[in-house]
Amino acid sequence: MTAFTVRIPPVSTALDTALQHKIDTKTKPLGALGRLEALALQIGRVQQSLTPRLSQPQVVVFAGDHGIALEGVSAYPQDVTWQMVMNFLGGGAAVNVLARDQGLAVQVVDAGVNHDFGEVPGLVHAKIAPGTANSAVQPAMTSEQAVAALERGRALMREAREQGCNVVAFGEMGIANTSAASLLLHKLAEVPLDVATGRGTGVDEAGLQRKQAVLARAAARTGALREQPLQALAEYGGFEIAMMAGAMLGAAEAGMLVLVDGFITSSAMLVASRLAPEVLGYAVFAHQSAERGHQAMLQAMQAQPLMMLDLRLGEGTGAVLAYSLVRAAVAFLNEMASFESAGVSNKD
């Protein structure tokens, strides 16, 4: 099997004492900014700085199609994937609106959409193949394709860092990709399929039962894959999931902060964290999606999401919203007065 190797430096705790002191001497009761304090500490660790800065934030939306869509596992047709890519490029999708509002640039990557886009301005052409194979009956992709997608994603983030970006929100688009994410959760964390499988775009009760039956058939093709993340990715992943996983690893390698969105984006982080657990030190989990299975997915990574908004959209929408909290954490760390500078009495 083709190899993929990556070594990510663990986030350094060298500045922890100084960062915690800075946080603790701000003019507030000890610990009163709650999770924002932990977030500020993490950002300081990632940037190795007592005065972190956020630079050229962007959301990258990875798009890909899924052969398993043929099995009727989504409420929407496969063409929605490429049509939504055009919508992203036109600036009209939910992620565009939220990103504009929060001040993030939007990048759209064709990781493997089943459509010939031709020369569309603004699209990053990184198509591995026009959609994966149907993982209910055969591996979604070859291990060579999985590695190519991982490496392409990694390279994209190296370039982004070189251009001055140090914080990336991750998003995706791909009809039927909740099926891929559920299968990855089932295989990598051994979460039972009924817990790992949800309604995605909103299949009805009969649709959910059909989806569960299809995923059971897909899962039965292979044995345990808990210790084989690359093989699990090739068997059940998507090109957008694989490229996102590589991009998350590449972002961490480059010392960038990684904002993780919902169920599908988290499945990419699950794969990434099995390839290199240190990536988790760079990851901010934005929210817990309403998609069934996300809670178990987060637990499998011991991740604590920042928000619960009942989002079930993907595209990077939750990650973009979490950027406002990242900005708030950096602002209080850099701008808030200390007891000493403001002449406020601290407790003894």
Ligand X SMILES: Cc1cc2ncn([C@H]3O[C@H](COP(=O)(O)O)[C@@H](O)[C@H]3O)c2cc1C
Question: Minimal distance in Å, beta carbon 314 to ligand X?
Answer: 3
Q: How many Cβ atoms sit within 10 Å of the Cβ of residue 138?
A: 13
Interface residues toward ligand X, by CB under 6 A = 74-76, 80, 84, 172-179, 200-201, 313-315
Interface residues toward ligand NIO, by CB under 6 A = 178, 200-201, 261-264, 289, 291, 294, 312-314
Question: Minimal distance in Å, beta carbon 106 to ligand X?
Answer: 13
Q: Which partner in ligand NIO, ligand X, none is near 222 (CB below 5 to 8 A by kind)?
A: none
**Residue number, 166 or 182, with CB nearest to ligand X:** 182
Question: Minimal distance in Å, beta carbon 256 to ligand X?
Answer: 22
Q: Which partner in ligand NIO, ligand X, none is near 84 (CB below 5 to 8 A by kind)?
A: ligand X
342: burial class by Cβ within 10 Å (0-12, 13-18, 19+)?
exposed
**Residue number, 213 or 313, with CB nearest to ligand X:** 313
Residue 71 annotated among the catalytic residues of the structure = no
**Residue number, 300 or 313, with CB nearest to ligand X:** 313
**Residue number, 161 or 312, with CB nearest to ligand NIO:** 312
CA 246/CA 237 separation, integer angstroms: 13
CA 250/CA 272 separation, integer angstroms: 10
Q: Which partner in ligand NIO, ligand X, none is near 291 (CB below 5 to 8 A by kind)?
A: ligand NIO
Question: For the residues of 195-261, what is the DSSP string, one character each?
Answer: HH---TTT--HHHHHHHHHHHHHHHHTS---TT-HHHHHHHH--HHHHHHHHHHHHHHHTT-EEEE-
Q: Which entry of 71, 172, 240, 315 is annotated as an active-site residue?
A: 315
| DSSP-derived 3-state class of residue 105 | strand
C-alpha distances in Å from residue 93, one per residue of 97, 314, 328:
7, 11, 25
- Which residues are designated catalytic? 315
